[in-house]
A and B are shown apart, each in its own frame.
Chain A
Amino acid sequence: MTNNKTYILGERALVIEIAQSALTQQQQNKLFAMHTWMREQKVFIDIVPAKTTITGYLMHSQDPDFWLQQMQAAWDNIEPEEYQPTTHEIVTHYGGTYGPDLVDVARLLDLSQSQVVELHSSQSYQVKFLGFLPGFAYLGDLDKQIQLPRLESPRTHVPKGSVAIAEDLTAIYPSESPGGWRLIGFTDTVLFDHHLDTPSIFQPGDIVKFIPSKESIC
C-alpha cells in the first residue's frame, strides 16, 4: 500500500522510512499506530517518530535483523485507526507584545492581523513529532494562506511560551531559546517540566487547538 524502506542505522537503531516528502493523514496515523506497536514490544529503549520516519533504539544490539523484519511485518499489517490521540486546548494571546511578528506576517500575506489569527486558530493541528528542544512539538499542517519561510536572521532569545509559525508548521517554544520562527502569540501553558514523570504535555500524535484569549487581536 505504501512505499517504504526499512534499515538499521548504526548498530541498534531500526528505521522505517516512507519515501515521500510529506505524509497523507492516513500514513501519519499509521506511523503513530506503529509507535504504539513498537512500545508494546518492550525491546526499544527509545522510539522517535519524525517527519516521514519512525526510529526505534534497541536496548541491546543483539538481533537487529530479526527486529527489523518484525517491524516490516507489523507495518504491512497495522491499521491506522488503532491510534487514539489526546486533544489539548491552548489559550493563546495573539499579537501586540505577545506576538511581535504578527504585524509583519499579516503585511507579507496581504491579510489583516485578525484574519491571520482566525486562520491560525480555526483549525486543529497534530503533533507530528517533537525535537529541537525538550517538549518542542512540530504541529501541522498550517493553512496554506498563512505559510511563510523562517526569519532571515534568527532571534537570539525567543521567550518561553511563544506561539510561532514557519513554513507548513506551527509550534510553541517550551523554553527560552534562539529561534527563527515568526512569533504571532504567546501562551502561559507550561509545556515541559523536567520534574514530572511525564515531562511533556504533548505526545506524538496528539491534537492541539489554539484558543484566542479575550485580549487577543481578533
Chain B
Amino acid sequence: MLKTLKGGIQACVQDFGRLGYRHLGVSQAGVLDPLAMQYANTLLHNKADSAVIEITVGLCQFAFLAETNFAITGANLGAKLNGQPLELNWRYSASAGDKLTFSSSKDGLRAYLAVQGGYHLEAVLNSHSTDIQARFGGMAGLPLKDGDTLNYTPHPPLPSVGAALPRYSQTLRVLAGPHSALSAGLFSQTWQVLPQSNRMGIRLESDKNLCHSHSIPSQAVMPGVIQLPPSGKPIILGNDCQTTGGYPIIAQVIDADLRHVSQLAAGHACSFELVTREEARVASELHAKHLAQLKIALNNNDKKYNE
C-alpha cells in the first residue's frame, strides 16, 4: 500500500485518459506528459497504460507500506527516500515503512510516480484518470488527500537502473489552426505563463496581446489546441479541457511537444515555432524509438540479473 502522508499542492492518479466519451461532454483527463508516464512504466516492466501519480509542484509525502520498486520521471521536484536524494528517471526499490518526500523546484512543475505492477483501482468509463472537474475516476474523483491509500502488489527489489528522458523545451512546435489568420503575432514574441494556469489550460500573455473581436460557433477541441479569446491572451488547452470551445483556434501544439506544456509553471516563458504535419509525425516517431530502445536495454539488463 502507498499511503499519502501529505497531499501537497496537487497529486492525482492519471493514465492515458478517458477516450470514447467526448461526444457526451466527458473530458479526456489523463497525464499531461505521456512520455514521462511511459518511461516510468517501462522502467518497472508495467503495462504502457498503467496509472501513475501525477505530482504538480510537489510538497507531498508518501509512505510505502509494502516492498516494491518505483520510478519517478518528469521534472526534478527534489524527491528523497528516507531523506536520501533520488535521481530522476531511475528505478529504485522501497521497503515497508520507507518514506518518499518531494520538495519543489522553480525549473519544473510535474513529476510522475509509478510503482511496479501499478496501483489497484476501479476503472471509471474505461480509465483510471482522475477527472477533477467532474469528480470521478482515480481516487474518488479527487486529488490525493492526507491519509489516502493506494494498493499495489508487493514485489522484491530489482537492481537500480536509469534512463535518459529527452530534455524539456520552452519552444513549442505547433501546426497551423483553422483560424490561423489571427496567429501572426504568436510566433514573433515570447509569452509569459499566467498563475491561473492549471490542468484545464495554460494561460499566456505578452506585451503585445493579439486582441480581436471574432467568435466562432462552438466546435470540438482537445489538449494542445491554442485558443485565442478576444483578450488576445492565448490559452493552450490541457487534458482537463472541455470537449467543445467557442474561441478561435489559432494553432495546435504537436503531440510530441505536449510534454513540454506539462512543465510550464506561472512566470515561465515559452515561444512557438510553426512546423509541418510531417515534422510532427517524425517527432512522435522519435519518442516511440526512444521507448523501444529503453525496453530492449532494460530487458537485457534485467535478464542478466535473473541469471
Contact = CB atoms under 8 A, between A and B. Distances in A.
B222 interface: yes
Interface string A156-198: 0000000000000000000100000000000000001011000
**The 3 A-B residue pairs with the shortest CB-CB distance in the complex, in nearest-first order:** A131-B244, A55-B220, A51-B217
Interface in A1-16: 7-11, 13, 15
Contacts of A192: 24
B217 A21 contact: yes
Contacts of A45: 19-20
Interface in A45-77: 45-53, 55, 57, 61, 64
A94 interface: no
B219 A11 contact: no
Contact of B25 (A7, A57, A131, A195): A131
Nearest to B254: A11
A129 interface: yes
B92 to A, nearest CB: 34
B255 A11 contact: yes
Given A134-B24, A194-B136, A10 B124 contact: no
Interface of B: 19-27, 124-125, 131, 133-137, 175, 177-178, 217-220, 222, 224-225, 242-244, 249, 252, 254-255, 277, 280-281, 284
A8 B278 CA distance: 13
Contacts, number: 118
Contacts of A133: 25, 133-134
A194 B124 contact: yes
Given A15-B219, A55-B219, A55-B220, A10 B252 contact: yes
Nearest to B283: A11
A199 B254 contact: no
A43 B291 CA distance: 25
A218 to B, nearest CB: 30
Contacts of B178: 7, 9, 15, 17
Contacts of B137: 194
Given A9-B225, A134-B24, A194 B217 contact: no
A130 B23 contact: yes
Contacts of A46: 19-23
A95 interface: no
B242 to A, nearest CB: 6
Contacts of A48: 22-23, 220, 243-244
A51 B178 CA distance: 16
Given A10-B255, A15-B219, 8 more contacts: A45-B19, A48-B23, A51-B219, A129-B244, A133-B134, A135-B24, A194-B136, A204-B23
Q: Which residue among B23, B218, B243, B284 has the maximum number of chain A CB atoms within 10 Å of its CB?
A: B23
A216 interface: no
A200 interface: yes
Q: Which residue among B133, B177, B218, B284 has the maximum number of chain A CB atoms within 10 Å of its CB?
A: B218
B221 to A, nearest CB: 9
A136 interface: yes
A50 B220 contact: yes
A10 B225 CA distance: 8
A107 B225 CA distance: 41
16 contacts: A7-B178, A8-B277, A10-B175, A11-B175, A11-B284, A46-B20, A46-B23, A48-B243, A50-B220, A55-B219, A130-B23, A133-B25, A134-B27, A134-B131, A194-B134, A200-B24
A9 B177 contact: yes
A214 B25 CA distance: 32
B155 to A, nearest CB: 31
A86 to B, nearest CB: 14
A194 B125 contact: yes
A134 B24 CA distance: 6
Contacts of A194: 124-125, 134, 136-137
Contacts of B21: 46, 134, 199
Contacts of B243: 48, 130-131
Contacts of A13: 220, 222
A130 B134 contact: no
B183 to A, nearest CB: 14
A212 B138 CA distance: 39
Contacts of A8: 277
B134 A50 contact: no
A13 B175 CA distance: 12
B224 A136 contact: no
Contacts of A51: 217-219
Contacts of A49: 23
A11 B281 contact: yes
Contacts of A11: 175, 252, 254-255, 277, 280-281, 284
